[in-house]
Amino acid sequence: MTLTIQTASQEIAITFAQQINLANRLAGEQQFSVISTVLKETNWKLFFEDTLAFKKMPEYCYSNIIRLPSLTVSVFHWNKACLVHRHLDLAGHSIPAYIFALEGRSIHSVYGINSQVEHDVYLNHCRNQLLSPGDIDFVLPEQAHYLYPLEKFTSVHIYLGSLAAADSSLHYQILQ
C-alpha cells in the first residue's frame, strides 16, 4: 500500500479538475451554470497556497495550474491589454474558455468570427463586459476576445481542452 500525502491546494486542484471535466460533458447554459458554481465555490486563497511559478510575457504573467488533455486552467496577472486572439488546442481546433475575475477590473471584449481567409481572420463585435471580482464570462469556439485591464487584474482561465500556444501567424481584423 502506497500512502500519498497531498497538500490542501493539491486536493482542491484535483476536485476542481474532476468537477470541471464533468461540467465539460454538459451543453450551453447548463455547462455555464455548473462551471460558474465551481468557480465561485472554490477556495482560491487555499488553492494558491503553494508557490506558483509564473512565466513572464509582455502583457501578463501566467502559470498553468492544471494541464490535462481535456482541461487547462491558468492564472493570469495582467500588466496591460492582450492582443485579440482565440483559443486553439494542440490539434489546431478552437476550444471554449471561461474567464473568472479574482482581483481588479477589466473590460472583456468578445468577437464573432465572420470568416477566415488563410491567415486573415475577420471579426464582428459581439459584446463588452466589465469583469470585477467574482464575475465570469466565456468565449465560445467560434469567437475571439481580448482583455483590457482597468487596474491590477488577476483572473483564472479555464480552457476546455489542452491549450496550445497562440498562432502568431493569424491576423485579426474587426469589421465595422
Residue 153 CA to residue 101 CA, distance in Å, equals 8
Percent of the chain with pLDDT over 90: 44
- Provide the grid cell at 85: 486572439
**Contacts of residue 146, Cβ cutoff 8 Å, sequence gap at least 6:** 81, 82, 83, 84, 85, 108, 109
* CATH node for 54-174: 2.60.120.10
pTM of the complete model:
0.86
Label residue 134 left, alpha or beta by phi (over 0 means left) and psi (-120 to 50 means alpha): left
**Beta partners for residue 68, in sequence order:** 71
Residue 155 CA to residue 74 CA, distance in Å, equals 8
**Contacts of residue 139, Cβ cutoff 8 Å, sequence gap at least 6:** 86, 87, 96, 97, 98, 99, 110, 145
Answer with the residue of higher pLDDT: 68 or 135.
Answer: 135
User: Tens digit of pLDDT for each residue in 7-46?
Assistant: 777 788 888 888 988 888 888 889 989 999 999 998 888 7
Is the pLDDT assigned to residue 4 strictly greater than 60? Answer: no
pLDDT score for 14: 84
Q: Where are the domains of the chain?
A: 54-174
- Provide the grid cell at 55: 512565466
